Structure 1
Amino acid sequence: LRRHALIRKLPAVETLGSVTTICSDKTGTLTQNKMVVQRVDTLNTSIQVTGNGYEPVGEFLLDNQAITTEQYPQLEPLLLACALCNDAILQYEQGEWKILGDPTEGALIALAGKGGVDKEPLNQKYSRVDEIPFSSERKRMSVICQWDSSPDNSQPANLPAQLPYSNSKGEQPLPFGHATGTTENPQLTGYMMLTKGSPELVLEHCTSSVHNDDSAGGTLGCQPLTEEQRQQILEQNNQMAGAGLRVLGFAYKSLDSLSAPEADHESLEQGLVWLGLVGMLDAPRPEVREAVQLCRNAGIRPIMITGDHKLTARAIAQDLGIANQSDQVLTGQELQKLSQLDLEEQVDQVSIYARVAPEHKLRIVQALQGRGKFVAMTGDGVNDAPALKQADIGIAMGITGTDVSKEASDMVLLDDNFATIVAATEEGRTVYDNIRRFIRYILGSNIGEVLTIAAAPIMGLPDVPLTPLQILWMNLVTDGLPALALAVEPAEPDVMKRSPFSPRESIFARGLGSYMVRIGIVFAIFNITLMAIAYGYFPHWKTMVFTTLCIAQMGHALAVRSNKRITLELNPFSNPYLLLAVTVTTLLQLLLVYVPFLQDFFGTEPLTMMEFAVCLGFSTSLFVWVELEKLFIRWFSKGKVSG
């Protein structure tokens, strides 16, 4: 929780350390999910928009000159569509504008407000009577509104009226009149459909476009869309997407009635009138660039998966360092045509997936796993659940995620931030390293203890050096306290500078098994040598063996903090729990030796200064041995590299 990651399944912590590929959504995870409209394009005009955040205050600039919607009436129906085809609510709270709903729709309300179009009174004037909701398959949303022609519903200033007319060219009437049109007794009837969504898909359903008819007194009319104009619109879309903007297309249609059944909603979205494009910037999270670089240093490959245009996806991916200009982008339509085998052959070369649907995520995960990758996948929707379940690590969004996606996940991001995934991966690696550190300490020491006790009768000694109570003391205190403290050892500096280890490897892999046996034998040799000397020269030989075993383990605990760095190179206070455990355990051991009632209870005898000095000498031998091993391995590795 300290790093904003909630682990729902405990094994996922160590599994995170083995992740080789992170498939991340773009919006809200790689980006801030704070949309600001920067550009509006009608058929023949490209207009820049100023302003900050969701504040409905800003200017429309054409060639760096401020303009009004009265000067460019094509803007009016587009702004009306932005406000009406919208489910978000803009609120002013505690001195700032906040959005209740989807950030993309919030940016559209702010845009409409900059043009003098207020959503709340507009909703009363144009009441919504039906809706065709957005879906990842359709990639568009439509609403059907009816004009409220009651006498009390007067036309507000600077808002387009729905005035039927015919112009001098006999073109199709447009349900948006100029604000200066006649409004004394409009007698407005009928409905209008407003559509927004993926520009390419909305454009496919359009047959005509809005234009300003100067011959009819500057009123708006409709003209058929030519193939040249379609290509022009697509080029405008590509320009905005290439600049990293999320682009939406807008269209409308007049309806005489609502006779079409609900099942035939699709047919209503035919023969639309093109209104224009709106481009909004969703800035990348500043911390993600560093997180992506950390991923690459750690041998983890980041992949972007988004429903946005491929040029938008490429621009953001390049900005964040996820991909280069030459990297391939695979769209959902292209992916749909590939067989699973063909997809597996391409996944190693593709770092950006654009215009994808949730079911494509499942195929991407399966293809990566088919190539032997260990995959983490993010998701927030109900339809993302299969992909989250299939992934080795399913990651749900804590803020925008649905309950279904959270239930299917192994981990929940409380801040929906890609950098949190990388931080959790670092924690996973650290936890796995600490588990191995714990095992290295416990089993290495215990093997030495067992061999020492077993050697006593073989050596012909009259008694074993330890009583059952002393063995219990070592297991609970001298083994337990430092081992628990090692479990919270901070990450080593190079933990995110190495490739991930295979999740299928044994816990004893990479030399851990041989280390335990080797150190156990070395530990036993030191203690057996002490036992032989103490039995022949000192009266309190049993207590000497007991004390040496306990104190030697304290040195071993300090030595196993790092696999490569010697103890003098480590900050002794970076793990205060281990420092406390070693200090307390050593003091408790001394109390057992020198406090009379504890002597009686544990069967110990007070050691002389000479006996205690001998114990300390043999106790430090194990610590010195482990440190020398590190120096030897470092020297050998350097020689191997230089050779």
Structure 2
Amino acid sequence: MAANADYSAHSSLNLQQPWHTYPVETTLSILGSSAVNGLNREQIAQRIKYYGKNELKERPGRSNWQILLDQFTNIMLLLLIAVAIISGGLDLLALQRGHLAKIGVPFKDTIAILTIVILNGILGYLQESRAEKALAALKKLSSPQVNVIREGQRREIDAVNLVPGDIMLIEAGTQISADGQIIEAFNLQIRESALTGEANSVNKSASIDPLDRDTALGDRLNFVFTGTEVLQGRAKVIVTNTGMTTELGKIAQMLATVGNEPTPLQKRMTHLGNVLVAGSLILVALTITIGLINAGWSALQELVEVSLSMAVAVVPEGLPAVITLTLALGTQRMVKRQALIRKLPAVETLGSVNVICSDKTGTLTENKMTVREIGTINRNFSVTGEGYSPKGQFLDTEQRAIDPKTDLELHHLLIASVLCNDASLNLDNGQDSILGDPTEGALLVLGAKAGLNLSLTKQEFPRIAEIPFSSQRKRMSVICQGVNPVLFTKGSPELILEQCLSYQSGLESLPFGDREKEKVLVANNAMANRGLRVLGLAYKNLIYPPESNEISEDALIWLGMVGMIDAARPEVQIAVARCREAGIRPIMITGDHQLTALAVAKSLGIAQAGALVISGRELDKLSPIQLENIIDKTNIYARVSPEHKLTIVRALQKRVNLLL
């Protein structure tokens, strides 16, 4: 279909299609777009009118009046207001009868109770309105810009104006603003941890085999999603979904269906209010009944006044104010810990939680890949340190610190990991950060821990050629100029091992035998089973620089492997232990792979060796009854979607759990 086709034929197009299963030509045709020219002005106007802006619809914020009225909706405050009215009515009757001496200061109880009610409302209003204003300020962040092709011209537009069929151009540093299928890509790597929970960057490509309809989000390698970030490379993408039809929009829709459950304190306060109301009515009825039996109908008015006075005395006037003040103090303590509380009663919920469901990446872990193990043919090492800090030690198998520069095989491997690398490391007084792929960043940090001067190393061995990583080759190669050109490569250990004829042993290379290769494969599998992401590194010396783009990657010399993981936050293990001591059950729900999830859960004390791990696909096969039967036995869920997470939480709530 031509790019300038009449879009009226598509005005009722269903965007909820399995786009990832279509060839990109089919997607372009269905959406009436062109990879070269994009959409025209008429198409854009029609689509904005039909689909609306590219933004997530949220529940409207509460107005100031709504926040104020919400402070007076619990039954205890309503009961106090009723008590104040009754007390005022009784004082008014006493004044009319001239019983001033009997009541003392008129309306003192009414004024006191109403003062408590009003102060209680003001305190709650001030706290909750402050939180609403803070949230509103966060939402006013400027809309990102995005590059598109429209009417054959490259243009920069506000992301909210993207429509299905737009041709979007993305590059390193871009925050992706719509879901779309990749038309063409060059060395594209995406960070999808915000959507899938996987810490590793994901290599994306247009040239892949057709995907199954039920392919998990994290495995849709021909697709990009709203809210994710381009770490490396560039791509041309056709937008398939915007706003609430994106995967992020589906999550927003699911959250919108979740109602506001009353907190345990609110339930207890409601129960107490009901008991007090019932008790007061019973007290009034008993007082009047007994009085009428003894004194007759002539005493009815006095009996009513006495019984109402007794009913008023039953109500604890100061209780709501004490509770509100306590919650407000708790809220302020939470604010100091960087937690924003929208409604005061939510603070109390934290004290009643018996299950905590947590994502892995960035919550339990640092969202920073860190090298933990290194294996060469002759030796194995472990590496200490946290995050992107260059501080850490290299330990041998007996946990003795070693100088990595004194081990020639290890030193060669470290040099290769720095040179075969496109990331950059910024060491800035404790604010260490990386730019680029987290996996490559971890290798730079490893080199820095070994004492290598990263910039000087790259200057001494300048890059003269490269073959970028691709999902088909599963490796990256560079050629650097030393005394002679040297090719360095890193990637899947199994595939690199196939290209190796020898291995590094000290200063020499020795031919690979079956025994040595089997040793490498066993070590690789052991690392993977511990939840590590494993990369193999190799090299070969060249006589001359390559004269064409055809670079031979065979006859390599094996250097070794590195195993890395998104390490757990140092404070989390202590927090998990405290939760267990308090009777709180921690559960990990992540989009990452099962082995990785199990390894992190074991290191934190969330699960033991051999613990049951349920995947998203396994969840799909379970009936509600089957899920309820295993929900109390499972603490790890891996490779799950947002829909799965909501299913798990609802199943836990059915088991009378209070979740956080």
Normalised-by-shorter TM-score class: 0.3 to 0.5
TM-score (norm 1): 0.38
TM-score (norm 2): 0.37
